[in-house]
Amino acid sequence: MTRFSYFSLEKARHALGAVVVIDVLRAFTTAAYAFQAGASKIIPVAEVEEALKMHDEYEQAFIMGEEGGFKPDAFDFSNSPAEILQQDLSGATLIQRTTAGTQGLNQANQANTLLAASFVVAKATAQYLKQLNPPQVSFIITGDSLGRDGKEDRACAGYIEALMRGEEVDPKPYINQACQSSVVRGFSTGEVQYLSQEDLDLSMHVDVFDFYLPVRRRMGHLEMTRGSA
C-alpha cells in the first residue's frame, strides 16, 4: 500500500519516493498550458541568473517565470497561464524560474520519480502514479513558504491522493479549499497584485489536460516534458 507524506517547500530535500511538487498558483498551471501551446520541453531552474545563463546555451529558447511574483525585464513571458495560452510555442524550449514551484523541483534531490503538478493535470498525474504503484508518494506543498499557507497546493495534493486511493472524488470541495488560501484571499483584498482574475480562474480548472508533467535530470539540469497518461 502506498504511503503518502506532505512536505513544505522548506523541507523539500527530505521528500522520498515518488515526489510530486505542486504549484497551483501558478508555475505548474502555466507549464501545463505551455505544453498545450506546443512547447517541447521546459527547463526549471532556481535562479534568475541561472535562467539567463541557460538562455545563452539555448539561443532559441524562451524564458518564462517571475521573481517576487512579477516578470523580470529580461524574461520573455511572465508566470501566467493566461499569457501563455495566447502563444504559439510549437517545438519551443522554455526555461522556467519561479519563486516556489521550480525551487521545489530543484530541491527534491532524493526523488526516485519526480513530477510537477497542479489542478489542470491532477487526474493524469494520479493515473500515472497508480500505474507506478510506488511504496511512497511525497507531496511538496510549494505554496507553504514565504508566510503563505499553501492551501491551494495542499488541496490539489489531497485531490490527487484521493484519486490514487480509488475514491469517488468530487473536485468541488478541493477547489473550495484552494480558494481559501492566503494567496487567493490576498488577491481578493488587493494585497496580492501579481495575480490576475484570468490566471486565478484558469488555475482552478480541474483535469483540463490528459497529460502529466514528468521531470528528469539530463545533462546536468532538470527537464520537464509532457507525459501521456
pLDDT number for residue 59: 79
Q: Which three cell numbers stand for residue 1?
A: 500500500
Mean pLDDT in residue range 173-187:
97
In sequence order, which residues have a C-beta less than 8 Å from that of residue 39 and are 6 or more positions away? 89, 91, 92, 93, 94
Mean pLDDT in residue range 40-69:
95
Q: Would you say residue 229 has pLDDT above 80?
A: no
Range of the domain at 83: 3-228
Total domains, the chain: 1
Mean pLDDT in residue range 94-102:
98
pLDDT number for residue 43: 98
Compute CA distances 94 → 26, 65, 225, whole Å.
16, 10, 11
Q: Would you say residue 129 has pLDDT above 80?
A: yes
Mean pLDDT in residue range 199-206:
98
The whole-angstrom separation of Cα 228 and Cα 94 is: 19
The whole-angstrom separation of Cα 224 and Cα 222 is: 7
pLDDT number for residue 22: 98
pLDDT number for residue 126: 98
Q: Would you say residue 198 has pLDDT above 90?
A: yes
Compute CA distances 222 → 114, 133, 162, 200, whole Å.
10, 23, 28, 27
Mean pLDDT in residue range 43-55:
97
**CATH number, domain containing residue 64:** 3.90.1560.10
